[in-house]
Structure 1
Amino acid sequence: MSTAKDHTILGPNDGPAAEVINPQGGAAICLVCEHASALIPPALADLGVAPEHRLSHAAWDIGGLDLATALAAKLDAPLVASRVSRLVYDCNRPPSAPGAIPERSEVVDVPGNVGLSDVARAARVSDVYDPFKDLLRTTLERFATPPLLVTIHSFTPIWFGQPREVELGLLHDSDDRLARAMLANRPDGLDARLNAPYSVTDGVTHTLREHAIPRGLQNVMIEVRNDLLSDTTGVARFADVIATMLTKALAKQEAL
């Protein structure tokens, strides 16, 4: 009988499943980027995904890591980032969720995820999700004071043929304190909305539920439309916008 170890997907040259960028960051903020990488380990033979889709939004959050890294530097905060494509395992989904190992993402078929055995699914969890979860947990435990948990994502401007006008989404689960405080400090002219283009009903708040809410940490999931992160100017703009919204929100809370 085969075991998860027989289905190991990360080889010795693939590196870890997750990493901490700016680990010595001194701010009481923990940044997270669950969809930072488009890497599909060679052992999975590209999951059968067509070449034109391997660097598409289906595989990762385009511009997400660039934005998260810029924020880590600007805020002096540590950043926990996945190093494996969400088509292999979506680290913002629990193992019980069907979308954790998607057979299809919008219009992109993922043949290598179809008909996986329980053992093969368990290998994805042990090789990708568990190391990410453990690294985020230990990073949170190192803070001297309870940090904010801020996850960074990007979204495609067209989804199933429908355009999305929103530019910045501030998503929350049961704790809406930080999302609402940030929204109140959005700059003029920016289309920023609560729980858009996704909401808790879409199952996108797993990291907040797993790591922030049980600890009582203020938290927010940030979504930026990826056409606005297509170059260094756009990344720098949104790093400034988000950092300013965060710092103003915290300053107002501390003044109460």
Structure 2
Amino acid sequence: MLLRSGILAPADGEAVAVENERAAGTVVLVCEHASHRLPISAGQLGLSEEVLVSHIAWDPGALELARLLSTRLEAALVHQRFSRLLYDCNRPPESPAAMPESSEIFEIPGNRDLAPAERYARTAAIYVPFHDRVSALLAAYVQEGRRPVVVTVHSFTPIYFGKKRDVEIGILHDTDSRLADATLSAAISGPYRVERNAPYGPEDGVTHTLRLHALPAGHANVMIEVRNDLIANSVDQEVMADYLAGLIATAVSVVEGK
């Protein structure tokens, strides 16, 4: 079917992008679902254009929000340049969700019955370079004497399987809840409905990046989920970035004992 040999052509560019790499702060932002773009070799994975720009293919508004946070927090930003439908960089290679055959109500024909060689090719082309860059950036911070703080940035749809989601901001964590606890404490009197491990939690397999890069090294970490109707335009993105930057900066200070 698709992608039997090379995944990325020269015209596609790199699988991963790093912005503000020499930022002065300690926060490293990661945006695994930044783009709905597909490489030339993938075609459209058997999907319509309407589906390919929907939330199943990416996290709408997440990259714009992450870029604003990068500026406000003086933070480096690593983001994936292709759709999570090709490979979801927040899932390990052995997970069925890494190259999903379906997402919510949609079947993904281009991901059906993938041969092991094709799964390996996608992993090598997309997942490995992405996480290698995150690892290298964190290692550079440590070598410079900085204690990196890992913050992943996501958005979620207001309606999922026909059910409305009332939570507006999710503060997610795995076994290390230090930064999440401090962030939730800072959000108590805020204007948004902020909840712990919502609308997903670690039991849903969404904390892979944190497990891979932060937990083994003891780096403070948190995953932030924002309902995408709250960051649907540039004005709302600026408002949300101001709010979240304040929460994160306060939480980091608490964790670092400042």
**TM-score (normalizing by structure 1):** 0.96
1:228 is the counterpart of 2:226? no
Q: Where does residue 253 of structure 2 map in the other structure?
A: 251
* Secondary structure of 1:35 counterpart: coil
With 157-166 and 181-190 compared, the bigger mean Cα shift is at: 181-190
Mapping of residues 115-126 of structure 1, within 5 Å: 115-126=113-124
SS in structure 2 at match of 1:224: strand
AA aligned to 1:189 is P
- 1:209 paired residue number: 211
SS of equivalent residue, structure 1 residue 48: coil
Q: In the alignment, which residue of structure 2 is the partner of 1:49?
A: 47
5 Å-filtered alignment, 1:102-251, equals: 102-143=100-141, 144=144, 145-186=146-187, 187-251=189-253
Structure 1 unaligned spans of 5+: none
Question: 1:51: Cα distance to partner?
Answer: 1.8
Q: Does 1:8 align with 2:6?
A: yes
Aligned partners of 1:108 and 1:224: how far apart in 2? 22
Q: CA RMSD in A?
A: 1.2
Code of the aligned partner of 1:136: V
Q: CA deviation at 1:250?
A: 2.6
- 1:6 CA drift (Å): 5.9
Distance 2:43 2:51 in 1: 14
Which residue pairs with 1:75 in the alignment?
73
**Structure 1 stretches of 4+ moved >2 Å:** 250-256
Q: What SS class does the counterpart of residue 238 from structure 1 fall into?
A: helix
- Structure 2 CA distance for aligned equivalents of residues 253 and 6 of structure 1: 47
Secondary structure (helix, strand or coil) at the match of 1:193 reads: strand
Tell me the CA shift for residue 214 of structure 1. 0.4
Provide, for residues 61-114 of structure 1, a one-character-per-residue CA deviation record: whole Å limited to 9, x for no partner: 000000000000111110000001000000000000000001111012210000
State the identity %: 46
Q: Separation in 1 of the partners of 2:190 and 2:60?
A: 25
Q: How many residues in Structure 1 have an aligned counterpart in Structure 2?
A: 252
- AA in 2 matched with 1:120: E
Q: Distance in 1 between matches of 2:239 and 2:162?
A: 27
Partner of 1:28: 26
Q: Please tell me the residue identity of whatever aligns with 1:182.
A: T
Q: How far is 1:49 from its partner?
A: 1.0
State the SS of the aligned residue for 2:186.
coil
2:231–2:237: 8 Å Cα contact kept in structure 1? yes
1:183 offset after TM fit, Å? Answer: 0.5
State the AA in 2 paired with 1:242: L
Question: Displacement of 1:52 after TM fit?
Answer: 1.0
Determine if contact 2:179/2:255 at 8 Å carries over to the other structure.
Answer: no
Say whether the 8 Å CA contact 2:172–2:180 is kept in structure 1.
yes
